[in-house]
Structure 1
Amino acid sequence: MEPQHRIGTREQWLAASRALLAEEKAHMRAGDELARKRRELPWVKVDKSYVFETPQGRKTLADLFDGRSQLIIYHFMLGSDWNEGCVGCSFLSDHMTGIVTHLEHHDVSYVTVSHAPLAKIEAFKKRMGWTFPWVSSSGSDFNFDYHVSFTPEQLASKKAFYNFTEQDVGIDEQHGHSVFYKDEHGDVYHTYSCYGRGDERFINTYAHLDVTPKGRNEASNLTDWVRHHDRYEDGARGG
């Protein structure tokens, strides 16, 4: 269905675009200020020991830095009894393969973490054709401590802490990002986390859709149209 929209002259388009540019610049400057405030958050020292299962063997949280001082962890929704990874998490992860190299050359390691056993992670990773590091936290409290995995009791009570508030999460796994810093003494600090729609900034497809006439064109959320990239019908095009 064709979008209904007003039609104007080139002069009208130019005048409106100049006005919009002023707002876009203000929005960008506001984003820069938010980034500055994000970097100024107090750091919390990680005193608890976390061990992850990786293809190279067991590793600690400090090991995941891989010689760099900064670490971004993506909390990918793949539970121990799930048959495949979350569609939305997979959508986000499709954007990462080409980015990780650039992060690593700017003192930032990127690792995806799920609560599922490593064998299940490796099988799904192979299916998706991803190359970024992906490890299992199944033998530790990491997912629970960073509020992306939830116990049966929390689900039953409809009271779990997610996205900085107590709420009914409705499912045993949720998504998010957590950022860590390791100093020259080897001490690790938690510096930042975001959840929910906070993850959208990492989905470059949305940045492209947001400049198109139809925009995101979602009735409710990304699951209206996003599929695992190997589940789209060949030759299918969105209406």
Structure 2
Amino acid sequence: MTLQPIVPPEEWEAARQELLVQEKALMKERDALAAKRRRMPWMAVDKEYRFEGAAGGLSLLDLFEGRRQLIVYRAFYAPDVTTYPSTGGSYPERACDGCSFVADQVAHPAHLNARDTTLAFVSRAPQADIRGLQERMGWQLIPWYTVTDDFDTDFGVDQMHGTNAFIRDGDRIFRTYFVSDRGDEQMGNTWNYLDITALGRQEEWEDSPQGYPQTPPYLWWNYHDRYGATPISDGD
């Protein structure tokens, strides 16, 4: 490994400030891109889809858990998924390596829930195997359902993992965004999940269409076990 130039603190800080200009420009571009996502057209989901959960059958509407938005990640965990000798296991002990990596990065769902958004994983494994994997890997906080029909084919995730975003207006459901391949490697962080939704982070600084829900930043943030209690204010 070749070492980079070794410089005194003043030169190091100058280099950091130079790079910071580009980093801030990239952040602003990402904010602008998220604003365009919030203005994407919606696609009506008129077909009925059914899933199996721990308590039985559910519809796509049920997966929202009463919230306005739903993010669905299609994980590859099923009897016909290729084994992974490099990690020393196969089904049902192992899910797809990459999908497992994503699951390990998922933040506490209470933060998404506080923005009226639900996250769910789906795959074609039976519920008994899903529960065993969740217990072993510590993924109990991720709602995980079994696909029973053409949901994965219809939403572009039958051959590759991917994340679909939906919104509902009453009982009407709309698809608002989709990301797959390397785009999925950013998922897991609460902010990145919110940035792919139709409503975004729902904070006042965002460039969103007229009438979208927005509140001041910081003020809605809370400990994951305190949502619904007294909000945390600046300085707490």
Please report the TM-score for the alignment, with normalisation by the length of structure 2: 0.71
Q: Which runs of 4+ in 1 moved over 6 A?
A: none
Counterpart check, 1:124 vs 2:133: yes
Q: What residue in structure 2 maps to residue 103 of structure 1? A: 112
Q: What residue in structure 2 maps to residue 92 of structure 1? A: 102
Aligned counterparts of 1:115 and 1:133: Cα–Cα separation in 2: 14
Q: Alignment partner of 2:165: what SS? A: strand
Q: How far did 1:57 drift?
A: 1.0
Q: Please tell me the residue identity of whatever aligns with 1:198.
A: G
Q: Please tell me the residue identity of whatever aligns with 1:71.
A: L
Post-superposition Cα deviations, 1:105-150, rounded to whole Å, max 9, x if no partner, equal 210011101122222222222221212100000x21001111221x
Q: What residue in structure 1 maps to residue 181 of structure 2? A: 196
Contact 1:81 1:116 in 2 (8 A): no
Q: Alignment partner of 1:36: what SS? A: helix
Aligned-pair identity in percent equals 41
Aligned residues: 177
Q: What residue in structure 2 maps to residue 133 of structure 1? A: 143
Q: How far did 1:53 drift?
A: 0.3
Residue of 146, 151, 158 corresponding to 1:142: 151
Aligned counterparts of 2:155 and 2:77: Cα–Cα separation in 1: 15
Please report the TM-score for the alignment, with normalisation by the length of structure 1: 0.71
Aligned counterparts of 2:188 and 2:169: Cα–Cα separation in 1: 29
Contact 2:156 2:162 in 1 (8 A): no
1:40-189 alignment, distance < 5 Å: 40-82=39-81, 83=91, 84-96=94-106, 98-131=107-140, 132-137=142-147, 139-149=148-158, 173-184=159-170, 186-189=171-174
Q: How far did 1:199 drift?
A: 0.8
Q: How far did 1:81 drift?
A: 2.5
Contact 1:100 1:110 in 2 (8 A): yes
Aligned counterparts of 2:49 and 2:65: Cα–Cα separation in 1: 15
Provide the aligned C-alpha RMSD in A: 1.4
Q: What residue in structure 2 maps to residue 210 of structure 1? A: none
Q: Please tell me the residue identity of whatever aligns with 2:25.
A: A
Aligned counterparts of 1:34 and 1:141: Cα–Cα separation in 2: 31
Unaligned runs of 5+ in 1: 150-172, 205-239
Q: Alignment partner of 1:94: what SS? A: helix
Q: What residue in structure 1 maps to residue 26 of structure 2? A: 27
Post-superposition Cα deviations, 1:24-83, rounded to whole Å, max 9, x if no partner, equal 110000000010111111100001100000002100000100110000111111133231
Q: Alignment partner of 1:181: what SS? A: strand
Aligned counterparts of 2:22 and 2:14: Cα–Cα separation in 1: 13
Aligned counterparts of 1:72 and 1:203: Cα–Cα separation in 2: 11
Contact 2:127 2:145 in 1 (8 A): yes
Contact 1:115 1:143 in 2 (8 A): no
Contact 2:75 2:161 in 1 (8 A): yes
